[in-house]
Amino acid sequence: MKIEKLTKKQEKELEAFYKECLEIGRSCEPINHEIAEGIISGFYKRLDMKAPKFVYFPSPHAILKSDSSIDLNMYFGGQQWIHWKALYKFAERIGVEFSKEDSQLLDEWFNESKHLHWWFPFTDVCYISERPIRLTVNEAGALHNEKFKAIEYADGWGMYYLNGIKVPEYLVVTPSEDLNIDFFLKEKNADVKAEFVRKFGVERMLDMGKKVDTYEKYKQKDYPYWHESQYELWDMAKLFEGLDYQPYVKMVNQTTGIWHVEAVSPSCRNLKDAIKERFGGKEMKIIAIK
């Protein structure tokens, strides 16, 4: 059966199913050990193996830390791998036919995502990680928390995220007024730098510099993209001891709305030079902006 377009009813079913799968993927509900062990034992049985001994850990990190021979090629992701199971499961729901055996196996894997987090199967033992105790996202659904770890486990292990970008602890726990510009200058990752600018405040940052060139000097009909991105060139030499001139380009990302401040070489004395450099020495020609 080939389905080329969803009906209105199927579109609504997809929205509901998408929400259901998101809830599974983000669940912090404690794992029911009895159900989890039954699911895993079923997979072992499929391989003609007896059920293993089950050992629980508070986090995936705790599992890896417990045995140096374990690596990340040896696990199943449970709820975090719901995506591929959801694809086939929804296809089945709207009429795609699978063999009886494949349908049953799909049910087992979908059930695995509903009831498990990370697990590491071996011949005689299976290590199982409990779910996180916190998992927070922003309005776009990206991992995000402005005060704590965006994902955290009972043993304290976890990671800090801002708007889907993994960032150092310092950038989350430090109040914006106490952030040190040295962090921005030393950081190499452009996405992390962008989150610093967002929290520190782009205007506060540029107060330390001097505007060299701006999109406002150029006709919008000739440079529409410059106006859309509000390109400006700033001299931030005051931040660098011993330098007479250190240009940075300020712009807004049209997709995310995030302000970026990125360094360019001292040879850039105007926006034309700076933007050309950012595009690998090529002249940027925008056909249309939608």
Q: Which domain holds residue 164?
A: 135-176
The rounded mean pLDDT for the chain is 92
Residue 1 has pLDDT above 80, yes or no: no
Structure-model confidence comparison of residues 79 and 278, the more confident one: 79
What mean pLDDT is predicted for residues 11-38?
Answer: 97
Tell whether 105 is covered by a domain: yes
- State whether 144 and 51 are in the same domain: no
257-276 pLDDT, tens per residue? 888 888 899 999 999 999 99
142 confidence band (pLDDT: 50, 70, 90): very high
Residue 203 has pLDDT above 70, yes or no: yes
Rounded CA-CA distance 134/150 in Å is 7
- State whether 166 and 86 are in the same domain: no
Last residue of a domain, one of 131, 164, 191: 131
Tell me the H-state helices in 94-234: 100-115, 169-173, 181-186, 190-200, 202-206, 224-229
C-beta atoms surrounding 260 within 10 Å: 19
Tell whether 193 is covered by a domain: no
Rounded CA-CA distance 177/37 in Å is 49
- State whether 36 and 127 are in the same domain: yes
Structure-model confidence comparison of residues 68 and 169, the more confident one: 169
